[in-house]
């Protein structure tokens, strides 16, 4: 049962002491989240993994996050993902073969090697981060995409952004890039389904990828809510589509969403476009300040892969670690690690 797991997790944690740290992403379910020593968005957790002295980093999040932890931590540190099936469907929308092929095709239309910087959202596999490291590119997260894109435009005139079309467009537009100068590269079509002229005129080439959770939020949900609650404040994650982000009062990462609501005016209504577990916890946390938090989607928008991590898996990995056995270690191969680290460090050096 969950109760028994709680006790076993606590006992294993006590046995491991400072040798182990549990990181919890904001989308984790309560039964897991409450055991995290540190919680945060992707950037905060990556930085924590890079600075942690713990021998074991147990990452309650999804696969790409644990890979980042393995890449940034010291070689003798071990990163563990409690359930290996906890992936990210958006990260899976771009893979190395597709990106390599697209890059080659781009090079037949323009001189991509000189004109284009590849940028991968942190929600991507390690070999894509390595691709960026090899091509003088960079990684971004939802909390630093703008600074990262500014860094890119200082060097080259165009960006190939993957895998999330929406984060790319939302960030580019807020930086003043007109929509016509952002084109969508459909990797299922030859030359991304674009003409040479479209590529030449584009500042941003956006990979056709999206988050299955955030795509559920639609701008008419904002209109309907505002009709009944005209003073409501709308907050969205930048993985939501362009129309939602344009109508939102604030757009930011999971950590920024929490900060905005926590520090916002008391006795207010909030409409939030991000994952359900975060929204439910926030709702409870701020209700005593008179803040009413509402989830935007009429249907349940929950990240099913984040949900895979349950107290049973957490208890299992911790008990094994406490007995000296490592299970579910995430290890990026050395070549990808070196190149991916370069792209991640390009990002981290900006802050």
- Interface residue with ligand SF4 among 46, 69, 123, 269 (CB under 6 A) is 123
Q: Which is nearer to ligand SF4, 12 or 303 (CB)?
A: 303
Give the tokens for residue 219: 């701008």
Query: What phi, psi does 184 have (nearest 5°)?
Result: -100, 125
Q: Which is nearer to ligand 13P, 8 or 25 (CB)?
A: 25
Return the bridge partners of 292, or none.
Answer: 269
We find the least distance from the C-beta atom of residue 62 to ligand SF4, in angstroms, to be: 5
- Interface residue with ligand SF4 among 272, 286, 306, 314 (CB under 6 A) is 306
We find the least distance from the C-beta atom of residue 242 to ligand SF4, in angstroms, to be: 17
Place of tokens 């074991």: 56
Q: Kindly identify the residues of this chain, within the stretch 70-89, that bind ligand SF4 according to CB under 6 A.
A: 88-89
- Which of ligand SF4, ligand 13P, none does 89 bind, CB closer than 5 to 8 A by kind? ligand SF4
Q: Which is nearer to ligand 13P, 105 or 239 (CB)?
A: 239
Stretch (H or E) spanning 107: helix 96-109
We find the least distance from the C-beta atom of residue 141 to ligand 13P, in angstroms, to be: 5
Distance separating alpha carbons of residues 125 and 165, to the nearest angstrom: 16
Q: Kindly identify the residues of this chain, within the stretch 85-144, that bind ligand 13P according to CB under 6 A.
A: 123, 141-142
b or e along 16-46 (b: 16 or more beta carbons within 10 Å of the residue's beta carbon)? beeebbbbbbbbbbebbbebbeebbbbbbbb
Stretch (H or E) spanning 72: helix 63-72
Q: Which is nearer to ligand SF4, 38 or 326 (CB)?
A: 38
Distance separating alpha carbons of residues 87 and 118, to the nearest angstrom: 23
- Which of ligand SF4, ligand 13P, none does 177 bind, CB closer than 5 to 8 A by kind? none
We find the least distance from the C-beta atom of residue 229 to ligand 13P, in angstroms, to be: 25
Residue 214 counted as an annotated binding residue: no
Give the tokens for residue 273: 């476009």
Distance separating alpha carbons of residues 199 and 243, to the nearest angstrom: 24
Beta strand 233-236 pairing with 78-80: unpaired
| Interface positions with ligand SF4 (CB under 6 A) | 62, 88-90, 123, 211-213, 239, 275, 303, 305-306
Pick out the residues of the known binding site for [4Fe-4S] cluster: 88, 211, 303
């Amino acid at each position: 049962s969950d109760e028994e797991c709680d006790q076993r997790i606590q006992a294993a944690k006590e046995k491991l002491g400072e040798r182990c740290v549990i990181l919890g992403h904001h989308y984790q379910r309560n039964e897991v989240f409450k055991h995290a020593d540190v919680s945060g968005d992707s950037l905060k957790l990556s930085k924590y993994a890079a600075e942690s002295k713990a021998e074991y980093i147990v990452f309650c999040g999804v696969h790409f996050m644990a890979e980042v932890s393995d890449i940034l931590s010291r070689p003798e540190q071990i990163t563990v993902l409690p359930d290996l099936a906890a992936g990210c469907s958006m990260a899976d929308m771009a893979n190395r073969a597709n990106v390599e092929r697209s890059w080659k095709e781009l090079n037949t239309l323009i001189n991509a090697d000189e004109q284009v910087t590849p940028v991968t959202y942190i929600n991507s596999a390690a070999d894509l981060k390595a691709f960026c490291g090899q091509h003088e590119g960079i990684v971004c997260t939802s909390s630093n995409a703008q600074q990262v894109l500014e860094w890119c435009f200082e060097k080259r005139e165009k960006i190939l952004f993957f895998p999330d079309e929406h984060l790319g467009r939302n960030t580019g537009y807020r930086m003043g890039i007109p929509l016509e100068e952002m084109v969508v590269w459909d990797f299922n079509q030859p030359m991304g389904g674009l003409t040479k002229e479209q590529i030449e005129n584009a500042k941003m080439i956006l990979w056709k990828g999206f988050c299955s959770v955030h795509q559920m939020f639609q701008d008419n949900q904002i209109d309907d809510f505002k009709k009944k609650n005209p003073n409501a404040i709308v907050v969205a994650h930048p993985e939501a589509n362009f129309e939602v982000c344009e109508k939102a009062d604030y757009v930011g990462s999971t950590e920024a969403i929490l900060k905005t609501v926590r520090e916002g005016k008391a006795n207010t209504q909030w409409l939030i476009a991000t994952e359900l577990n975060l929204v439910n916890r926030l709702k409870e946390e701020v209700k005593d300040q008179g803040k009413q938090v509402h989830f935007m989607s009429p249907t349940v928008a929950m990240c099913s892969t984040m949900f895979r991590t349950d107290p049973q898996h957490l208890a299992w990995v911790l008990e094994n670690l406490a007995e000296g056995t490592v299970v579910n270690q995430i290890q990026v191969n050395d070549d990808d690690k070196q190149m991916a680290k370069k792209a991640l460090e390009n990002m981290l050096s900006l802050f």
